[in-house]
Amino acid sequence: MSARIHRSWTVINCYISDIVAYGTSKSTGRPRKLKQRDERNANGKQYNSISELKDAVKAEWNKIHPSYLENVSNSMPNRIFQVIQKNGRFISY
C-alpha cells in the first residue's frame, strides 16, 4: 500500500493513529513574546521617511501608560543602575 500512494509506512501509521491531529504542528508550550495583534502593529507598515517612522514610534510610546513603565522600572533596579553607570551603553545581561 505504501508504494501505491508513495508514502512511507511511518507516515501511514502516523496518519492512521491520529487522523484528526495528523499534519498539525505541535505547540512548543512556550508563550509568544508578542501577541499577534501587537506583532501586526509592529510589522504592519513600511515607512517612507525617517520622520514618519519617528512619529509612529512616538505615537506608540504615548499609548503606554506611565504606571506600566513605573512597574517595569521597579522590577529591575539593578539593571537600570548599570545602564545609568554606562551612560546608556551596553550592559551585561
Residues of the chain with pLDDT under 50: none
Query: 22: exposed, middle or buried (C-beta count within 10 Å: 0-12, 13-18, 19+)?
Result: exposed
Beta carbons within 10 angstroms of residue 80's beta carbon: 14
Are 9 and 15 a contacting pair, CB within 8 Å? Answer: no
What's the pTM value of the predicted model, to 2 decimals? Answer: 0.39
What is the rounded distance in angstroms from the CA atom of residue 24 to the CA atom of residue 15? 11
What is the rounded distance in angstroms from the CA atom of residue 78 to the CA atom of residue 69? 16
What is the rounded distance in angstroms from the CA atom of residue 9 to the CA atom of residue 35? 39
Q: Cell triple for residue 24?
A: 498539525
At residue 40, the pLDDT reads 60
